[in-house]
Amino acid sequence: MRAVRLHGIGDLRLERVPVPQLAADAVRVRVAAAGVCGSDLHNYRTGQWMGRLPTTPGHEFAGEVLAVGDAVRGFKAGDRVVGDSRVNCGECPRCRGGRPNVCDRMGYVGEVCDGAFAEMIDLPARRLLPLPADLSFSMAALAEPLGVSLRVVRRLDPPRDMPIVIAGAGPIGGLAALLLDHLGFGPLAVIDKNPERAARVCAVTQARLLDPEPRAITAFCGPSGLGFAIEATGAATLLGLLVDSLMGGGRLAMVGIFSAAPTFNANIVVERELDIRGCSVFCGEQREALGLLPALASRLGVLVSPAITLEQLPGAYAELTSGGSPFLKTLVVP
């Protein structure tokens, strides 16, 4: 079958690979749509989380079941499914305590095992969710990043009618803005270096685009000050800006991936009793995201690029890693 394989930093190739033997606990899925994630691009640039090379990236996908292993119950050929990106152990205290998203031995599809940038993918049945019949494969492939964004919104836990600033209008920050608007939070503002992408987010969320400056944040928030913010860029300068701008008792949800350890004024965190919350993938939010997708579909369509093929994917990485795409999400249709 055809698959796009990562062989090392900056080395992504379209290849023909053998179809593996189907394991007894596995389900074989024909990939109908797969999304390119920021972590895919981060691995392409740095190789930071790759558990094996070469490997097939891609962990956001939807498709149709082709076959099931002898031990599989609950799925059959022809079923429509979406993938769960997490490869958690199920045994550590975190998994047993109901927090599998912070598993002690967490890995991800497309990093520790082959992913969805291929014609087919084999995964254990527990890594799949049934797909509602009225949801397209392209929309369903967004359930994974929408689940991550819903986790961010839950971790931020803002009150109503308070200004929220989101640094990053990319896939997770942009989808978090969409969810916050859909759920009735805000007013919202976004900071992003890509004006076309930010304009799309603002158009579907009524958010304002801000310059990355303290005075712009002050003008947006008014007398109430900045109480709630999301960092979804992995840019140290923007993390510092948000920490500096938060008022006493403010809260920051961090989901951006940093290439190097950032620095910020830790004394402000102490003096203002700031609440900084990390956000790692999701627990049950992906399943909830599937239920939200129909109501968000028309606005999501504005944020997703025209689909590309496996043949086009290696070349597309150049634009995507530069941050120059005017869209939040690129979908691959094998």
Domains of the chain by residue range: 2-142+304-332, 149-278
**Per-chain mean pLDDT for the chain:** 95
Which homologous superfamily does the CATH classification assign to the domain defined by 2-142+304-332? Answer: Medium-chain alcohol dehydrogenases, catalytic domain (3.90.180.10)
Q: Compute the distance between CA of residue 75 and CA of residue 113 in angstroms, rounded to an integer.
A: 21
| Tokens representing residue 113 in the block | 């095992």
Residues 224-278 have pLDDT tens digits of 899 999 999 999 999 999 999 999 999 999 999 888 888 899 999 999 999 999 9
Residue 36 has, within 13 A of its CA and on its CB side, a CA count of: 33
> What is the predicted pLDDT for the residue at 31?
98
Each residue's pLDDT tens digit, 205-218: 999 999 999 999 99
User: What is the CATH topology of the domain spanning 149-278?
Assistant: Rossmann fold (3.40.50)
Statement: residue 126 has pLDDT above 90: yes
pLDDT classification of 46: cutoffs 50, 70, 90: confident
Cα pseudo-dihedral 23, 49, 275, 225, rounded to 10: -110
Residue type (1 letter), 22: L
The percent of residues in the chain predicted with pLDDT above 90, rounded, is 90
Q: What is the structure's pLDDT at 47?
A: 81
Report the run of H or E that residue 41 belongs to, with start and end.
Answer: helix 38-46
Give the pLDDT of residue 323.
Answer: 84
> By percentage, how much of the chain surpasses pLDDT 70?
100
Question: What value does the mean pLDDT take over residues 30-58?
Answer: 91
pLDDT at 73 over 90: yes
pLDDT in tens, 161-187: 999 999 999 999 999 999 999 999 999
pLDDT (average), residues 26-35: 98
Confidence of residue 117 (pLDDT cuts 50, 70, 90): very high
pLDDT at 268: 96
Give the residue-averaged pLDDT of 18-26.
96
φ and ψ at residue 166, rounded to 5 degrees: -115, 115
pLDDT digits (tens, 9 = 90+) for 308-324: 999 999 999 988 998 88
Contacts of 230 by beta carbon, 8 Å cutoff, 6+ apart: 152, 156, 164, 165, 166, 167, 168, 173, 176, 252, 253, 254, 255
